Structure 1
């Protein structure tokens, strides 16, 4: 029976296969003839189409015939802006870097806030560039309103070649995601409001989308094209459209504040002259019983960086006699904040004490000598400590402007303070402000600090742990008897680790040597310097040359 079953099974398989081939061949020939006939009919119809003049076609038919036609041709409300495309084309290499750095700075705190929820060690941009192809604006529509605002509607197309490489580390493993071949079509509405008399003449930027954006891009995970997975491409596209639309589709907006509207509407009305004279019996903050005090001055409601005195090392009764001029916009509400800090070579500077002076308490054109008790904070519920933090002696005078006599250089970004009293007439004060660094790479660790070498003196910033883009905002001062026209400043970025057992506990991340002749002639330079012996690392250093004249 087994042999008979095998023979019958083999015979049945052969017979069924033969019948299946014959039926399939018949169906193929039958359908092919039908499709060929249909194709022939379609070809004959295309050879004899219905011809009409363009003027007889409606706008929808013309748009289908010419899908790439710009909006300023199809819609008379949109203006042609070829000049803007040319400008962006010339500026794109610089806009690429600026936009990429801005995107990093915006994404960094968001990533830092989210990664603890997913047990990820770190997420970093290994590469972020928008490529060499700038976006194209196909037209712009401007709305006129009675409010103090400017409304623009733009048609943007961008077929770019960006290279965005993101690396994520978790459980000792590293995964990279790369975004390439990005194409975007969107119609954003940009509203600048309110319009104010202070540069850049608007306080906020509101951005919203008039339609769902069209987004197309390639996504590589560990070098493999993820978008090649069946069904994933369309799913990701629709997901991005829906998420962006939920956040920014009109009337929802993204608001970017440029300046405080309440202060932007106000013009300067006077100057506050502050003479920081001395401090008395300051609280000891250092381990050995001393302090290295300096004073920081700021006006409330003012976004201009505060001003500082020099540091008086190992002195609990320092004398400064330094004068500062602060621009006043609202003497009825603004206050002068005075904070005394203890300078630290490494780590955060400790606050010794503070106090405030309301400008409304000052009589115009009358100097006022004041001795202020230093407090821990200005909170009304803060318990009063019996132990004194010391006193600060200042002289203040409010000088209101006369009508039509406002100085032109009040907001000059290159203006620098004068050197403190007692500075030699032929010399001055060299101020080095270490702001930040970016794209630092350590082979073993990245815990950077900055080391300054100038005329045999060494100064260091505090160390920032596990950060490729640290920010310090620390300043160092070098009193000099003559301008440093032939001197150089050596800036070195170093990473150290306190972990035991590391072979490389100290690692150089790059350095730069800065000639100081330009600082003397320009009085102030604030620039980013590429680090030598670093792949992409840069450090931002601000240099000021202050003189008594």
Structure 2
């Protein structure tokens, strides 16, 4: 009983700040009203031990949890507080634990813990509005699904990892933390035959691209056009080309909440370093094809890609710039420029004179983003034009 209470308290303390960081723009706050892990313990269905690198032992654990937790999220929206209960939780994943060996007792200097990206972690649950129905709250379920997906992808899924230094042995934990591997240059060229969501006129599309959900960037919006041309170029950081991918989302700019027109993903493992590649992506309603009910054609998005592997010197510089961008995003959130640290940053905030000049917090944030732009999230060149 005491262990469950302690584990629930640690989980709440760890996850609530992430909920705030990844909180969608349409929500004022997102926190736990109740959090109990229940009485059902996770099941270990298999263990594989291997030595993939000298000085390390890797253990892959097949984990399944059909839990009975009592989890209630308090979602503060412009129309009031909405308590949402998470029920019927099931988790299927492979947990990778890497033991870094040491000569001195306890013979382990640090543990690295992560969820393997393949097979993709599966977290199933149902949502229920306490004292009401979710049918009257359109978009809430998708919002929570996207938030959970972003947190898992950006913090727990390999190559992201939790580093746990072990007592008794002096160790520099930063040695084991995630580091930039390379730079992905993305040019969003155009889209064709986009789905029209407007009753009058046509959709007003823009594109959001990211490798990590925490570092989203976006193109300009092109009004009233289902075949827009952007020709905007961004640079993003990747930590592991073998397991990460580029997510491309096309949205319709709207009053209130923007609507997603389509989404697609490109595995970075498909790219050969230093060799340009043009890709014509078929847009889907969701990357989870099992959840796709709308099978209608959503058009295509054409992008150009170039992957550059960092030298050790470039890696160190990119790591520092990545930290500056995170701090800049926090300052922008505190200043009310963005509502969440995971909001997509547009061209004007990532490289134009309107963001890099001026004084006070806006000028400071703009300058930090401009400095960081050499390695990620900067619009380098580009323009937009209309095609009627």
With structure 1 as the length reference, what TM-score do the two structures score?
Answer: 0.34
- Higher-RCO chain (CA-CA 8 Å, sequence separation at least 6): 2
Larger Rg belongs to: 1
With structure 2 as the length reference, what TM-score do the two structures score?
Answer: 0.46
